[in-house]
Amino acid sequence: MKGLRKVLTPFAPDQSGAVGVLYDSAALIVIIDAGGCTGNICGFDEPRWQDTAAGIFSAGLRDMDAILGRDELLVKKIVKAHEAGEYKFSALVGTPVPAVIATDYNALTYMIERKTGKPCVAVPSNGMRLYDKGASDAYVRLVEKFAKDERPFDENTVGIFGALPLDMGRSSRDKVFEYYKNQGYGNVRMYGCGASLEDVMDASSNSLNVAVSSSGIDVVKKLCGKFGTEYKIEDPAVFDLVIPEGRTLVVHDEVAGYSIRNNTESDVTVATFFTLHDELKQEGDLILTEEDEFTKLVMNGGFDNLVCDATYLPLIPDYKGRVMILPHYAVSSAGDDS
């Protein structure tokens, strides 16, 4: 049945991706929920939360708040929280509750900016899309809000988008960072994972932007349109993956799949449960939504090699080809010390 999961648990949702992007930005992050979504995002999708305190809050909505649409009460809560901490701006992250009651984010943002005197960004995630969409939206909203001034390109600076813990583990992020260092960039800005709000404001000075996962593609294109910044789409963390000869199926993030294809002689097909942009898609590549689509593809596709997160393996107990595990935290909630 469409939408029925019998083996896999749901993947990280858009709201988790949005929080991942905002995590290091010194924002007062308000997840507009009753509490449960906040617990899921922080406790299960944001490994940094165990070690580093961040200003993440639940709106603490109750049924009457939702039914009556008490936006003013929420604004009051946000103003009070600003008084209790030091935050550079407010960030609203949507969940299914505001999706049901059709929260007007523009109005809410305007009210919050007026009352706090600080900028406010809203990411209208709804818990039904996947993390890459939420992360992508958050990146775009951040640069729209803060990357306004056009500054001269700094040939020493590169902007990396899409290296969130949900995208790749710590060792992969380190590989990405080192790769661009070795390419001659003294200043590698890892947006969403170490880069500051000031780095967002200064994004126009990046001489190159790189989308290392799907969640970074829309924002590097946006920055290209706005400032003319050159961009690349590649994931250096998988460049050294040795793929044996034969036909290979990569089930992962689209950029990981694309980068594997470009760095191997093997005949690679890319499939993903997440976004697949047209510019990366080649004949045979496809989006998966259901468990049995994955099973049929692997079992009937004639692939010699399969590259994927270990979480998928219970769906294909009879697969006889070679399996190469490439962790994807958004799928498994497990990686290499994300």
Partner 1 sequence: MARAVSYKAGYIASLGKDNIPSELKGNEGLVYSSPATLAYNSPGAEGFGVKRAGLAVPESVMLIVAPGCCGRNTRYVTKNPEYNVRFFYLMMDETDLVTSRHLKKIPEAVKEIVEFCKVRPKAVMICITCVDALLGTDMKRVCSKCEELLEGVRVAPCYMYALTREGRRPPMVDVRQQIYSLLTPSIRKGNAINLLGFFAPVDPDCEMFELLKSVGFDDIRQIGTCKTYDEFLKMSQANLNLVLNNEANPAAEDMYNNLKIPYAGLTRVYGIDQVAKQYKALGQILGVEIEDSVFYEETEDKIRAFMVKFKGRKVNIGECINANPFELALTLTRYGMKVGEIYATLSPEHFVYVKKLAELSPDTMLLCNLDPSMINYSASEYAPDLTLGKDAAYYCPDVPNIPWNSDVQPYGYKGIVKLINAIEEALS
Nearer to partner 1, 3 or 184 (CB): 3
Query: Based on CB atoms, which residue is closest to partner 1, 10 or 246?
Result: 10
Residue nearer to partner 1 on the CB measure, 81 or 241: 81
Q: Is 316 in the site for partner 1 (CB under 8 A)?
A: no
Q: What is the C-alpha separation between 10 and 12, in angstroms, rounded?
A: 7
Q: Residue 336 has what DSSP assignment?
A: S
Q: Which is nearer to partner 1, 63 or 240 (CB)?
A: 63
Select from 25, 58, 116, 295 the one that contacts partner 1 (CB under 8 A): 58
Smallest Cα–Cα separation from 12: which of 313, 338, 255, 328? 328
Q: What angle do CA 193, 197, 202 make, to 5 degrees?
A: 105
For residue 41, the Cα-to-chain-centroid distance in whole angstroms is 12
Residue number, 135 or 188, with CB nearest to partner 1: 135
Whether 230 and 220 have beta carbons less than 8 Å apart is answered as no
CB 90 within 8 A of CB 119: yes
Q: Does 128 bind partner 1 (CB under 8 A)?
A: yes
Q: How far, in Å, CA of 147 to CA of 104, rounded? A: 24
> Between residue 164 and residue 193, which ones bind partner 1 under the rule CB under 8 A?
none
For residue 97, how far is the Cα from the chain centroid? 21
- Counting Cβ atoms within 10 Å, is residue 100 exposed (0-12), middle (13-18) or buried (19+)? exposed
Residue 174 corresponds to which tokens in the numbers above?
């380190």
Q: Could you say which of 171, 187, 196, 332 contacts partner 1 (CB under 8 A)?
A: 332
| Range in contact with partner 1 (rule: CB under 8 A) among 62-70, 164-172, 192-200, 217-225 | 62-70
b/e burial code for range 222-245 (CB count within 10 A of at least 16 → b):
bbeeebebebebbbbbbeebebee
67 is a contact residue toward partner 1 (CB under 8 A): yes
Whichever of 232 and 296 has its CB closer to partner 1, that residue is: 296
How many residues contact partner 1, by CB under 8 A? 59
Among 26, 48, 88, 96, binds partner 1 (CB under 8 A): 96
Is residue 216 within 8 Å of residue 159, measured between CB atoms? no
Query: Quick check: 68 binds partner 1 (CB under 8 A)?
Result: no
From the list 31-39, 135-143, 144-152, 242-250, the region that binds partner 1 by CB under 8 A is 31-39
**Least CB distance from residue 287 to partner 1, whole Å?**
15
CB under 8 A: which stretch of 36-44, 182-190, 213-221, 295-303 binds partner 1? 36-44
Closest-CA residue to 146 (of 202, 217, 210): 202
Binding region for partner 1 (CB under 8 A) out of 61-69, 106-114, 230-238, 255-263:
61-69
Residues 6+ apart with CB under 8 A from 284: 269
For partner 1, which stretch binds (CB under 8 A), given 110-118, 123-131, 209-217, 295-303? 123-131
- Residue selected from 18, 22, 37, 243 as contacting partner 1 according to rule CB under 8 A: 37
